Structure 1
Amino acid sequence: MEHPSEVFVSNYGSFLGKKSERLVLKENGQTVLEVPFYELQNIIIETSGASISTDCIKECMQRGIPISFLSSTGKPYATIISPHLTGTVVTRRAQYEAFKDKRGVQMVKLFVEGKLKNQVNTLKYFAKYRKSADKELFNNVQSVIDKIETTAQELKEITGNCINDVRGQIMSAEGRAGNLYWQGIKLLTAGKIDFPGREHAGAADPMNSLLNYGYGILYGKVEKCLILAGLDPYAGFLHVDRSGKESLVYDFVEEFRQPVVDRVVVAMINKGIPIEMEDGQLSQKTRRDLAERIKERLDTAERFQGKKYRLQTIIQMQARRIATHLRGEARYKPYVSGW
């Protein structure tokens, strides 16, 4: 029998416990799932009405299985991770020191470069199916792509001795490219959904709700990978440090938003998958559907550095490459998805 590598808990009254070498999920006192701990990679708890036993937590920590907690909108508010998975002191010292020198500038430029290239390739991926069917739409999207690529060229001209010197310039280029990208997404989903434009916290429309919830799931994946690579998820470069803000998670996630989440969400919209809303939020059914599709996407093999790897493996590989880049052992190259 095949077991899930990720357990998603969303029903009120759910209980997670340990039975021998297996995780047990109960709902209303009835066992609905048993999974061997050795097969588990992650546990996500989305409901405020769940409980978990301490022996289950201990087993997860000993096996390096993170337990993530999401709000109903997909925003992570806590993660339990073993303190023994925090990597080396050398890596974190290099990370903190890089904030004050050119390594930090270079790191951010590479993150943003990857993001913009993936924005372009996501638009190309969906536009290629319209080249014959709707030439005008194809040309309009191509015009957006051209403008993003022009904006991306500005990154090469930005130089500085530390990230504080150039943050404004980089964020300006990133922001302008982002506005163009969402214009392209709006063109590609026109007639399928009413997309008012990109909105973050508090968005109540279906499209932004899907994106925000999907990104919430991705944040948890990225955080785990950074910690396993020995990095501090709170010490970023582009995103300003603030208590409780996982700045490096927000930096690193940029090159994976489009290939992991945006591809899934736009495909759902264009295929006419029902998006159910309840009280301004995604219904539990839609949240589960989206979570499953993102999991499938992360399990998809993509070509990277001449070979094929699952996307979730690529994220972990890239996290380790951040560490080696900051330690001065190898240059980081952003992941760019195919189209």
Structure 2
Amino acid sequence: MHLIVDQFGVFISKHQGRIRVMKEKERLSEVPIMHLEQILICSDGVGLSSDVVRACAEEGIPIHFLNSANGGDYGTFVHSGITGMALTRRAQLRAGDDERGLRLAQAFASGKIQSQANMLRYAAKNRKENDPDLHNDLMRTATEILDALPPLRAVRGVLTDETRAALMGFEGMAGARYWTAVARIIPDDLGWPGRETRGARDRFNQALNYGYGVLQSQVRTALILAGLDPNAGFLHADRPGKPSLTLDLIEEFRQAVVDRTLIGLVNRQFEIVQRDDGLLDEDTRKRIAEKILERLNSTELYEGKRQPLRHILQCQARHIATFVRGERPTYEPFVMGW
């Protein structure tokens, strides 16, 4: 069970083994701690008692904080004891200085590119009968996206500004083709201007950004549970306050979790509603968060059998840890099926 708190001015407290959400004297929701998996706080002006923090820490329940404007994940509370895996973190930092860092960066970019191609193939499959021209165009674009893989995998050496820029360049070329194709599989009335990240004012980009924020909170927790530092990345350069490894691993899951979910929603007449200030309203944000978390519980083929995406995400985080520690010879990215 997930508790999503998205109203300004509410207070979260603990009461007799339950987490209670109140606004003034009105009880908005109440959840047994024993059934709670996580809390997502998606609004400003939310009060939180220390009893809730302690109870969640003791029970291993993460508390995620998302920016109410754009869904950006700006923090997670977890028990301090699970962040103390010094051996893994030392190995992670050393990996950034040798060929392991480059191999990880290549894997993250490769996984994203392959999933972008498969997302278009998935969309094409549903249009083969009623729109054969679009089906063929999407399949052709999927093949063109994969053209970025051979030169990306051919990069050799260690991680430097130059090798990282080369990888990001190939990823960017694939991404430009992908988003151009996405414009053809979403409703025209969205008025989508193309992919925009920070400062996006249109509804669909805001929904994507919010969905990625929800997913980012889940990736951060998976990395912490695997003993990794979510801020020390490989494909994404380190900067103060930048969750670089979180941004690395999320690349493998963007299409499977967020893009597929939101493209499907808007094609089923899901209305993305903005407030008067041009930002997503509370109901839209809550529905997006609920659908992303539902999608994480659905299954994909992984290591020979169908497994929940949430489990796959945690496995991939652990595979990064075992790879940097030298216990795994290679790291293979997750690629969504179609």
Compute the TM-score of the two structures, normalised by the length of structure 2. 0.96
Q: CA deviation at 1:180?
A: 0.6
How big is the shift at 1:192? Answer: 4.8
Determine whether 1:338 maps to 2:337. yes
Q: Could you say what secondary structure the match of 2:184 adopts?
A: helix
Deviations 1:218-241 (A, max 9, x none): 110000000000000110012111
| Kept in 1: contact 2:104–2:235 (CA 8 A) | no
Amino acid at match of 1:338: G
The answer for the alignment partner of 2:28 in structure 1 is: 32
1:143 and 2:121 matched: no
* TM-aligned CA deviation for residue 87 of structure 1: 4.7
Q: Give the alignment partner of residue 60 of structure 2, picking from 57, 64, 74.
A: 64
Q: Kindly indicate whether the alpha-carbon contact (under 8 Å) linking 1:163 and 1:237 is maintained by their aligned counterparts in 2.
A: no
* Residue matched to 1:12: 8
Aligned to 2:19: 23
Separation in 2, partners of 1:60, 1:210: 29
Q: 323, 326, 337: which one pairs with 2:324?
A: 326
Matched, 1:54 2:50: yes
Q: What displacement does 1:165 show?
A: 4.5
The residue number in structure 1 matching 2:287 is: 289
CA distance in 1, matches of 2:116, 2:160: 23
Provide the secondary structure at the position in 1 that maps to 2:306.
strand
SS of 2:190's partner is coil
Shift of 1:191: 2.8
Residue 170 of structure 1 and its aligned partner are, at CA, apart by 0.3
Question: What are the equivalent positions in structure 2 for 1:250-261 lying under 5 Å apart?
Answer: 250-261=247-258
Q: 1:338 to 1:192 in 2, by over 3 A?
A: farther
Q: Is the 8 A contact 2:187 2:267 kept in 1?
A: no
How far did 1:335 drift? 1.0
Question: Is the CA contact (8 Å cut-off) linking 1:237 and 1:247 kept in structure 2?
Answer: yes
Going from structure 1 to structure 2, the CA distance change for 1:144 and 1:192 (only over 3 Å counts) comes to: farther
Q: Percent identity?
A: 41
1:190: Cα distance to partner?
4.9
Give unpaired runs (5+ residues) of structure 2.
Answer: none
> Aligned partners of 2:299 and 2:106: how far apart in 1?
26
Letter in 2 for 1:302: E
* Partners of 1:104 and 1:163 within 8 A in 2: no
Counterpart selection for 1:107 from 104, 107, 112: 104
Most deviating of 159-168 and 16-25: 159-168
Aligned with 1:243 (options 228, 240, 244): 240
Are residue 222 (structure 1) and residue 200 (structure 2) matched? no
Distance 1:29 1:14 in 2: 10
Matched letter for residue 306 of structure 1? G
Letter in 2 for 1:75: G
Does the residue aligned with 2:270 lie in a helix, a strand or coil?
coil
Aligned pair count reads 335
Alpha-carbon contact 2:212-2:254 (below 8 Å) kept: yes
1:305 corresponds to which residue?
Answer: 303
User: Any stretches of 5+ residues in structure 1 without a counterpart?
Assistant: none
Report the Cα distance in structure 1 between the residues aligned to 2:288 and 2:181, rounded to whole angstroms.
22
Query: What is the match of residue 191 of structure 1?
Result: 188
CA deviations on 1:16-40 (whole Å, 9 max, x unpaired) are: 1111222112223222322222222
The secondary structure found in structure 2 opposite 1:158 is: coil
Q: d(CA) in 2 for partners of 1:137 and 1:190?
A: 14
**How big is the alpha-carbon RMSD for the aligned residues of Structure 1 and Structure 2?**
1.3
CA distance in 2, matches of 1:174, 1:88: 32
